[in-house]
Each structure stands twice: as C-alpha cells, then as structure tokens.
Amino acid sequence: MSGMALLLHLAGAVALLLYATRMVRTGVERAGGPLLRRHLQQALSNPVRAALIGAVLALAFQSATAVNLLLSSLAGSGLVAGGAALAGALGADFGSAVVVRLLTLDLSLVMPAALIAGTVIFLSTEQRAWRQAGRILIGAGLILMALQLIGQASEPLRDSQFLPLVIGYLANDPATAFLVAAICAWAFHSSVAFILLVVALATRGLIPADLGLVLMLGGNLGGALIAVLLSRGAVPQTRAVPLANLVLRGGAAVLALIGLPLLPAPTGWLGATAATQVLNGHIAFNLAVAVLALPLAGRAHALVLAVLSRSAPPLVDLAPGTALDDSVLGAPSLALANVTREVVGICGDLETMLDTVIQLYEAPDSARIEAVARLDDRIDLSHREIKLYLARLANSGVDAVEAQRMQELLAACIALEQAGDVASSNLLDHVKRKHDRGLSFSPEGWQELVDLHALLMADARLAFNVIVSRDQTTALALVRAKERFREAERSARALHFGRLSNRGIRSIETSSLHLDTIRDLKQINSLLATLAYPVLEEQGLLASSRLRLPDAGTA
C-alpha cells in the first residue's frame, strides 16, 4: 500500500470514529435532552453527587465536552450553582476516561449485534424515543468498527521508515508532543476519539508507553479547551464553568507532564503493555484531578467568574428591533421575507415561554414569571404590527401566490399568538395556584406532565421549521406528531383516572390542576399543528373533513 493510500485509509477510519462518537451523543441528547435539563437542577445540589452525575452523563453522551456545555448552560441560566456545575464537569472528565477503557475491550461480537439491532429499531418504528435508541446502537457499533479500521490501517506503519523518525523526535521532545496532542484533540473536538487513536497506535507497537502518556496528557488539555472555545461568545456565568475546568484539568496535565520524568518508574504499575499503560494512566489522571480538585471547585469557579465579569464589557439593554420595513412594501417578495423574519422571532419567544413555564412548576420565581408575561406582551405587539403591515402590503398589489403566502403567515401569526396566550395566562395561573396553595403532584403524575411537555417542545420545533421551509415532509411529520401527542394525552388521562379511582391522587384540587395542565398543553399542540395545514392543502394531502360519514344506504 502506498503512503498516500495508507494515510487516506487512516484518515477515513478517524473520520468514521468522529462521526460515530457524535452520532451517539446526538442520539442521547435528542432522546432525553429536555427532561435531562429539568432533572439536573435538583440533582446537582451536592458537589460529590454532582461529580457522580457528571461521570454517568459522560458515559451516556460518550463526551465530556457535551456534558460540560450542558452544565455550563444551566449555570449560565441560574438553574444550577456554578461550583456544582464545575464539580459535574470534573466528574464528566473521569467518566469520559472510563468510556475510552470500555471501548477498547474485546467487543468483536458486540459491533455487528449493535449495528443490526440499531438498524432494525431505527427502520421499524416512527416513535422518537425508539428511533434515538436505534441511533445510539448504530453509533456504538460504528465506533467499534472505526477502531478496527484504525488498527488495520495503521498496521503497515510498522514497516514505515518515516514514522520512527517522527516518533523518535516526539519522544525526545515531550513539550512538543504535549502541544501536538493538545492541538489534535481540539481539532478532533473529542478527547475520547483522540485517546482512542493513541491507544490503537500503541496497541500496534507504533507508540512507546512514555510517549503515549505524554500524548494522553496533551489530549486532556486539548479536550478541556474544546468547551472553552465553543462557549467563548456566552455570558460570563456560562463561560466560567468550562474555563475553570480548563484551569484545573489543563493545569494538572501540565504539572503531570513536568513531574513525569521525576518519577522512578511511572509506567510499571500502570500495566504490562503501552496501550494498557495509556488507558490506565488516563483513568488515574482524571480520577486524581476529580478527587483533588473537587474541594476547590466552588472557589475556582468564583475566582474565574470574578475575572470574567471584570473583563466583560458592560451590558447594553437594546429594545428588540423589527424587520417590518415599510420601504420595501412595493416589492412583495422582500416584504414577505421581512414578515417571515418577524414570525420567526415570535417562534423564538414562544419556545422560551414554553420551556420556562414547565420549570416554574418546580421552582417558582417571580422575576421569571414576569419575564414570561413580558414575552407574551411582545408577541401580542408583534402580532398586531404584522397584521397592519400585511394590510398595507395587500393594498400595494400582490399576485395570487404572494396573497396565499400572506394568508399563511397571518394564520401562523394568529396561531402562535393564541398559543402564547394559553402559556402566559392558563399555564402561569396553574403555576401560581400550585405554589400558592402548596399543591404537589405524585411522582407518576409529574412525570406524565414532563413527558407531554417534551413532546410539545419537539412538535413546536417542527412547526417553526414548517413556517420557514414549507417542506412537505416536515409538515407531514408535524401532523403525525400531533397524533402521537393525542395518544400520549389520552394515556396520561387514563393513568390519572386510574390513580384517582385507587385513591392515589393527593387531593381533588391536585387532580384538577393536573387535568387542566394536560388540557392546555394539548391546546397549544393543536394550535401549532395547524401550521402544517396550508402546506399539505397546497399539495392536495389535506382531507376536507376528519369525520367518518355513514353510507347513504345506512343513513
């Protein structure tokens, strides 16, 4: 095999590894993301527990970076204390090291089984949760396949005359090897993928143990740098968690690099082979960082936040602008594009409202309740301005196609405004009633509401996409999602009445609150589903009636 072909095969295997790792992560995020964010708020109250939860999340996401970004966003929004979020990030670093160890076990039979099972599940159902489970299994199988391909592609490197020169140079210059590894891990956007590559090369005898440990330490620095760069545009409260993690984890990597030559036999107790020593060293390093840095998490986060807040530019409160430019009313295509932009802004406000309201059920906050009410006022104002703008546009002369698009945008705006009214009036009233009267749902009842809300948020995003894309496939998916929501709503009601008949409901008033919330979530979902109808009607896919009429002979 020529040198170019060898590098091409190795690059392809690494690309598959990166894609498969991302596939598993997105599958987990899509399957449980909204529920996960709400449950973490209560679970991360204790630093030790936060570290354990971070490790478990890293095992699920197969990425410490994804967990780091999730926790930093919660800290930035004030839902989780910064020190607890940093403790979770430290635990996630250890969890990602365990992921590397698990993926290097002999799983030759697991790979085809995961690929077959994942493909069958993904293709045989339309249920979102099962499809994401199939995606996760396919991703896990592809990770194992990529590791095999890396091993096969790197096998000819044993006989390379150039590679020993590079390895020899890096082995004699640990600082350069450390920096190269950090850059590679950052470029991969996955320390898991980079460490797996180092282990695969060490397994083939291409990298000695001492160099492998240096590369592992550099990979940890690069892995901590990823979340810092991805969150660089966020507010200081969000940036503080990944930056403090970089200071602790990256600083420990630099100290370990300096101390590595001072140890008499640093690799003897880590294992018999170079690959085993890299794996065990990776786990030992991250475990030591988590244990030693955990007591410092709160102070480290506070110090980094103070530095970021001091250097951050002062916030400027800008009133939201409008895209409704009167100067383009003579050009209907531009005017309609402006209306679309304004409607998309309403979609963003409504999504924020819906996501916030369900959190208020658990943790009421007067400031956030007022913020939701202000969002509803902004939606009402945008709705009114859009109607006036479209009226002026109609008087300027539009063709049939443009007139139809005007009607679609107006109908979408009305549906979104009504959904906002239900969220700000009905759901906020339920929040106030629940906490003013000290009501609480049963664990089963609350989980039903959380599950319904998660379905609503997924359907809402489909509806928002239909407004912009007018895509037939997305519109059909939204209608099918409405049917799934209706089935889930019926199931939740049946389970509720079952508990009521068994005297499992804590009070009649709690039962009323539960059923009222279900009703309002369904109403919002139905309003959003109407956004698909104009697209389907245009394609002739919308029936004139959903009624099943009797035959004339049986009337």
Q: How far apart are CA 395 and CA 328, in angstroms?
A: 13
Note the pLDDT tens digit of each residue in 197-255: 888 888 878 888 889 899 999 999 998 998 888 777 677 888 899 999 999 999 999 99
The confidence score (pLDDT) of residue 253 equals 93
Residues of the chain with CATH 1.20.58.220: 326-538
Looking at the structure, give the CATH architecture of the domain made up of residues 326-538.
Up-down Bundle (1.20)
The pLDDT value recorded for residue 30 is 61
pLDDT classification of 176: cutoffs 50, 70, 90: very high
Q: What's the pLDDT at 65?
A: 78
Structure tokens at 92: 């996630």
Q: How far apart are CA 537 and CA 555, in angstroms?
A: 29
DSSP letters of 256-281? HHHHGGGSSSTTGGG-SSHHHHHHHH
CB of 85 closer than 8 Å to CB of 241? yes
Q: How does residue 162 score in pLDDT terms, banded at 50, 70 and 90?
A: low
Give the confidence band of 365 by pLDDT, cuts at 50, 70, 90.
confident
Structure tokens at 336: 């309609």
pLDDT bin (cut points 50, 70, 90) of residue 318 is: very low
Q: Report helix, strand or coil for 162.
A: coil
Report the alpha-carbon distance of residue 458 to residue 29 in Å, rounded. 12
Q: For position 220, what pLDDT does the model report?
A: 93
What token pair was written down for 70?
A: 């999730």
For residue 554, the model assigns a pLDDT of 42
Q: What is the mean pLDDT of residues 181-206?
A: 82
* Helical axes 236-245 vs 64-76, angle rounded to 10°: 150
Q: With 0-12 CB in 10 A as exposed, 13-18 as middle and 19+ as buried, what is 267?
A: buried
pLDDT at 552: 43
Tens digits of residue pLDDT in 108-159:
677 788 889 989 988 887 776 788 788 878 887 887 787 677 666 655 655 5
**Residue 32 confidence class, pLDDT cut points 50, 70, 90:** low
User: Which of 420, 426, 342 lies closest to 377, judged by CA?
Assistant: 420
Q: What is the pLDDT of residues 381-424, one digit of tens each?
A: 888 888 888 888 887 777 888 888 888 889 999 999 999 999 88
Specify the residue for token string 């077959």: 116
Angle between helices 191-203 and 209-230 in degrees, nearest 10: 170
* Upper half-sphere CA count for residue 26 (Cβ side, 13 Å): 10
